[in-house]
Structure 1
């Protein structure tokens, strides 16, 4: 039976990328050595690093005055590294869920944090809008896609202060204007690579604002000045990331990925809205393209376990909602084929017929 992978992360990757990675594990670039045991100081891996950086610049139209680095530790490490480097007096944060709250907690260790807006009053089911942004902030921090609750920013913020964005779960899924951000970072295990590498895109002028005496590995300059190789980088995930970027380029780039993501999301949200057994859980204007959250409709809550088992019998994997919100979550990252969404919709329709 074909499996349809809706896991929230680590998530589905393109099949051809997985196949190329498997070959490289056995023999990297005709070297006779496994990718898992090559030196990161070789010319062959230098080429991989350069390719990953070059494709990032190309696909996201990143200006030349931005540095791209690859780090370990996941986005959770960036929650403290961002304020360690850039919070000198006061920073503003928008609280849109668990990951925002974790980032806020870490930032408070380094300076004053002002929560400018929050959607906690409605269990993070919408994106706050129209809030004031003080001009005396060192930066404004946002989380662009909220995997647990299924909300997403659909437009870049206009801000009088530098914007730093955690784009772990929607990077490369939609067009963005990188020039509106001072820094973009994220764990790669949603749309780019297996777990183990974190990307950071940093505008060069921000590096001049680092005044705190930092541990060497925490200082972003350490990594920008050493092409992400001050210490051994996560070689295998970076290789897969480069392969994923190649796949995205060959597909037609971010514009084509966005078209496909809108198509997939529209297909599933339309079924959720049509099917009397289900209902969506987030404000319609803020619905995520990446993480589509839904529950059984009022009066049908008792069918939740039965639907989960039925979906599993049809090859659906990873549909269970996060433990904080329950219900169901279909993560529709870039590599998820439309056919998988069609299969889920057909599964929901068949379940509906069984329970009329």
Structure 2
């Protein structure tokens, strides 16, 4: 029996290109005709060291990373960075932009290490917008921002220009658009959104920043240790790094981040246009701050949400249920998701609208007929 096509809009782990999955599957059995699985190859072998180097070079090429920055691959997910950053760099005060769930988690962890100043927050409107923080005075060691808010569906398109080190969590929109790396002192991103499978976190850090660290730190919490050991201080997430390499090669062949950005804009515009047109749905995020990666919306009649989820699932559309604290729907449009999948979802939304509109007409007609019979 042929497997039905599935359109994966899940927020993470990410959708990966079919060609990448096929190469990775082959490598699990026999990597590079070595007779070994990529899952069992030594991370100290020259062959795997070349994988690490190639992945670093691809990151540098695709994001135009300057030579005075290091590219590191760590374990622990982006959540570990919530504590590693203040461990290393918080001396008196850390400034944080509060734009949603993951920004709040970063704030919570930083408070274990010192004073935290929330310089601006969009909590007053359920994190449906990105607050302006350009005109705020910063008396802090650094500012921390979250470029894309996966749960709330907002994205920063104009980063604040500040006179202090800028650290940014780019977990859910890394490689989806060009960024000027020099605008940041440290960028971190969990791989499982746009880069590869879960298990690895990419760090891009200015080397001059690492020279300012004057603390004695545990080795596994010290960026300098991973830099000096080329991310191989301990056993790294071998498979995650390898698949990320394959995925970045795929991305390069698609025109890099500049090329995929245009596709991502088309996907997002197509879906937002239908949300705004359709009489059953409405968007949650402020229009100016709508994320291209994670689209959040609800139904005007919440009682229809379960029915629409089932309706969409019958058409192969999966992973669109909203986060538990927000509800409604969340549609993730990561790099590997084709435009055709968005078109399938839009068609389902239109068909469901037509179905409900027709049902409403029939119901109203029956009421009118019953009323006419009553007074006949």
Instruction: Give TM-score, length-normalised by structure 2.
Output: 0.93
Aligned pair count reads 354
1-side partners of 2:5 and 2:214: how far apart? 54
Match of 2:157, SS? coil
Residue 203 of structure 1, CA deviation: 0.3
Indicate conservation of the 8 Å contact 2:133/2:160, yes or no: no
After the TM superposition, which residues 1-356 of structure 1 pair with which residues of structure 2 at under 5 Å, given as runs? 1-297=4-300, 300-356=301-357
User: 4+ residue stretches of structure 1 with deviation over 3 A?
Assistant: 130-136
Q: How far, CA to CA, are the matches of 2:254 and 2:163 in structure 1?
A: 36
Following TM superposition, by how much is the alpha carbon of 1:345 offset from its aligned partner in structure 2, in angstroms?
Answer: 0.2
Quick check: which has more Rg, 1 or 2?
2
Task: Give the alignment's Cα RMSD to 1 decimal.
Answer: 0.9
The unaligned stretches of length 5 or more in structure 2 are 358-376
CA distance in 2, matches of 1:26, 1:43: 20
CA distance in 2, matches of 1:336, 1:129: 31
Task: Please tell me whether the aligned partners of residues 116 and 131 of structure 1 are also in contact (alpha carbons under 8 angstroms).
Answer: no
8 A contact 2:134–2:160 mirrored in 1: no
1:134 Cα deviation from its structure 2 partner: 3.2
| Deviation, structure 1 residue 133 | 4.1
Measure the CA separation in 2 of the matches of 1:133 and 1:66.
28
| Greater alpha carbon shift after TM alignment, 320-329 vs 301-310 | 301-310
Query: How far apart, in 1, do the equivalents of 2:347 and 2:156 lie?
Result: 29
Q: For residues 257-281 of structure 1, give each alpha carbon's deviation from its aligned partner in whole angstroms, at most 9, with x where no partner exists.
A: 1000000000000000000000000
Say whether the 8 Å CA contact 2:95–2:116 is kept in structure 1.
yes
The one-character-per-residue Cα deviations of 1:72-96 (angstroms, maximum 9, x if unpaired) are 0001100000110111111100001
Q: Give the TM-score normalised by the residue count of structure 1.
A: 0.98
SS in 1 for 2:84: helix
Conserved 8 A contact 2:120-2:133: no
Q: CA deviation at 1:303?
A: 1.2
In 2, distance between residues paired with 1:163 and 1:11?
27
| Contact 2:70-2:206 at 8 Å conserved across structures | yes
3-state SS of 2:330 partner: strand
Q: Distance in 1 between matches of 2:138 and 2:283?
A: 37
> Over residues 4-42 of structure 1, what are the superposed CA-to-partner deviations in whole Å (9 max), with x where a residue is unaligned?
000000120111111110011111111110000000111
2:83 & 2:135 partners in 1: Cα distance?
Answer: 24
Question: In the aligned structure 2, how far is the partner of 1:187 from the partner of 1:133?
Answer: 29
Listed as ranges, the gaps of 5+ residues in structure 1 are none
